[in-house]
Structure 1
Amino acid sequence: MALGPRLDLRQSQSLVMTPQLQQAIKLLALSNLEIETFIGDALDANPLLEVGESAPESGPEDAALVEVRRTTLESSPVDQLIGEGQADSDRPLDLDRTALDLDRETGDGEWGAELRFAAGEDGPGIDDRADTTLTLADHLHAQIGAVCRDPQMAFVARHLADQLDETGYLPVSLREVAGEIGVEHGLAEAALELLQSLDPTGVGARSLGECLALQAREADRHDPCMAKLLDNLDLLARGELARLKRMCGVDDEDFAEMMTELRSYDPKPGLRFASGGGDPVTPDILIMPRSDGGWDVQLNQATLPRLIVNRSYYVEMRGSVDDKSARGWLSEKLADANWLIKALDQRAKTILKVASEIARQQDSFFRHGVSQLKPLTLRAVADAISMHESTVSRVTSNKYLLCDRGTFELKYFFTSGVGAIDGEGGASASAVKAAIKALIDAEDPKAILSDDTLVDLLKDKGFDLARRTVAKYREAIGLGSSVQRRRQKTLAGVR
Structure 2
Amino acid sequence: MKSRTRITVAQSQRLSLNTSLSAAIRVLRTDAAGLSRFLEEQAADNPALGVEWAVPAAPEWLPRWGGSLARLHDGGPGDVEVADAGPSLAAHVAAGIAALGLSARALRVAEALSEALGPAGWLVRPLAEVAAEVGATPTETEAVLERLQRLEPAGLFARNLEECLRLQAAEAGDLDAVMAGVLCRLPLLAAGETARIARALDCPEAEVLRAVQRLRRYDPKPGARFAPGAAPVAEPDLTVRQGPEGWEVALNRGALPTLSLREGPGRAEAKALMRLVEGRNATLLRVARDILQRQAAALDQGFAALVPMGMAEVAEAVGLHPATVSRVVAGTAIDTPRGTWWLRALFSQAVGEDGRASAALRESLARLVAAENPAAPLTDEALAMELSATGAPVARRTVAKYRGMLGIPAAHARRRRPAQRQ
Which of 74, 96, 103 aligns to 1:135? It is 96
TM-score normalised per structure 2: 0.56
SS at match of 1:135: helix
Give the partner amino acid of 2:251.
L
Give the partner amino acid of 2:315.
A
Q: Is the 8 A contact 1:121 1:434 kept in 2?
A: no
Q: Is the 8 A contact 2:24 2:276 kept in 1?
A: yes
Distance (Å, rounded) in 2 between the aligned partners of 1:483 and 1:53: 54
Would you say 1:490 and 2:413 are equivalent positions? no
Distance (Å, rounded) in 1 between the aligned partners of 2:234 and 2:53: 25
Distance (Å, rounded) in 1 between the aligned partners of 2:321 and 2:293: 19
| Cα shift at 1:133 | 11
> What is aligned with 2:261?
309
Q: Is the 8 A contact 1:373 1:428 kept in 2?
A: yes
| Cα shift at 1:351 | 0.8
SS at match of 1:416: coil
Distance (Å, rounded) in 2 between the aligned partners of 1:143 and 1:413: 43
| Cα shift at 1:413 | 0.4
Q: Is there any run of 5+ residues in structure 1 with no aligned partner, and where?
A: 58-119, 148-271, 315-329
Which of 379, 390, 395 aligns to 2:312? It is 379
Which of 346, 351, 376 aligns to 1:447? It is 376
| Cα shift at 1:143 | 7.5
Q: Could you give the per-residue CA deviations for residues 217-272 of structure 1, whole angstroms, max 9, x where no partner exists?
A: xxxxxxxxxxxxxxxxxxxxxxxxxxxxxxxxxxxxxxxxxxxxxxxxxxxxxxx9
**Which of the two has higher C-alpha Rg?**
1
Q: Is the 8 A contact 1:143 1:491 kept in 2?
A: no
Give the partner amino acid of 2:297.
S
Q: Is the 8 A contact 2:236 2:255 kept in 1?
A: no
| Cα shift at 1:285 | 0.6
SS at match of 1:286: strand
Distance (Å, rounded) in 2 between the aligned partners of 1:445 and 1:490: 7
Which of 329, 337, 340 aligns to 2:273? It is 340
Would you say 1:356 and 2:283 are equivalent positions? no
SS at match of 1:490: coil
Q: Could you give the per-residue CA deviations for residues 333-355 of structure 1, whole angstroms, max 9, x where no partner exists?
A: 12211110111111111111111
| Cα shift at 1:436 | 2.0
- Would the alpha carbon gap of residues 362 and 452 (structure 1) be closer, same or farther in structure 2, given more than 3 Å must change? same
| Cα shift at 1:124 | 5.3
Q: Could you give the per-residue CA deviations for residues 404-435 of structure 1, whole angstroms, max 9, x where no partner exists?
A: 1110011110112113xxx521x212221232
Would you say 1:424 and 2:357 are equivalent positions? no
1:393-412 alignment, distance < 5 Å? 393-412=326-345
> What is aligned with 2:362?
433
Distance (Å, rounded) in 1 between the aligned partners of 2:253 and 2:420: 50
Size of the alignment, in residue pairs? 271
SS at match of 1:417: coil
Q: Is there any run of 5+ residues in structure 2 with no aligned partner, and where?
A: 1-5, 58-80, 109-224
- Would the alpha carbon gap of residues 122 and 13 (structure 1) be closer, same or farther in structure 2, given more than 3 Å must change? same
Considering only aligned residues, what root-mean-square deviation do their CA atoms show, in Å?
3.9
- Would the alpha carbon gap of residues 56 and 352 (structure 1) be closer, same or farther in structure 2, given more than 3 Å must change? farther
Q: Is the 8 A contact 2:31 2:237 kept in 1?
A: yes
| Cα shift at 1:476 | 2.2
| Cα shift at 1:16 | 5.1
Distance (Å, rounded) in 2 between the aligned partners of 1:387 and 1:367: 28
Distance (Å, rounded) in 2 between the aligned partners of 1:53 and 1:435: 42
Q: Is the 8 A contact 1:55 1:306 kept in 2?
A: no
> What is aligned with 1:38?
38
| Cα shift at 1:459 | 2.0
1:39-438 alignment, distance < 5 Å? 39-51=39-51, 122-123=83-84, 135=96, 137-138=98-99, 141=102, 280-292=233-245, 294-310=246-262, 313-314=263-264, 330=265, 333-419=266-352, 423-425=353-355, 427-438=356-367
- Would the alpha carbon gap of residues 283 and 493 (structure 1) be closer, same or farther in structure 2, given more than 3 Å must change? farther
SS at match of 2:340: strand
- Would the alpha carbon gap of residues 375 and 139 (structure 1) be closer, same or farther in structure 2, given more than 3 Å must change? farther
Distance (Å, rounded) in 2 between the aligned partners of 1:279 and 1:20: 31
Distance (Å, rounded) in 2 between the aligned partners of 1:135 and 1:6: 67
> What is aligned with 1:249?
none
- Would the alpha carbon gap of residues 13 and 338 (structure 1) be closer, same or farther in structure 2, given more than 3 Å must change? farther
SS at match of 2:335: strand
Give the partner amino acid of 1:394.
R
SS at match of 1:298: strand
Distance (Å, rounded) in 2 between the aligned partners of 1:405 and 1:456: 28
| Cα shift at 1:379 | 1.2
> What is aligned with 2:403?
474
| Cα shift at 1:446 | 4.5
Give the partner amino acid of 2:413.
Q
| Cα shift at 1:279 | 6.3
> What is aligned with 2:210?
none
SS at match of 2:240: strand
Distance (Å, rounded) in 2 between the aligned partners of 1:51 and 1:143: 57
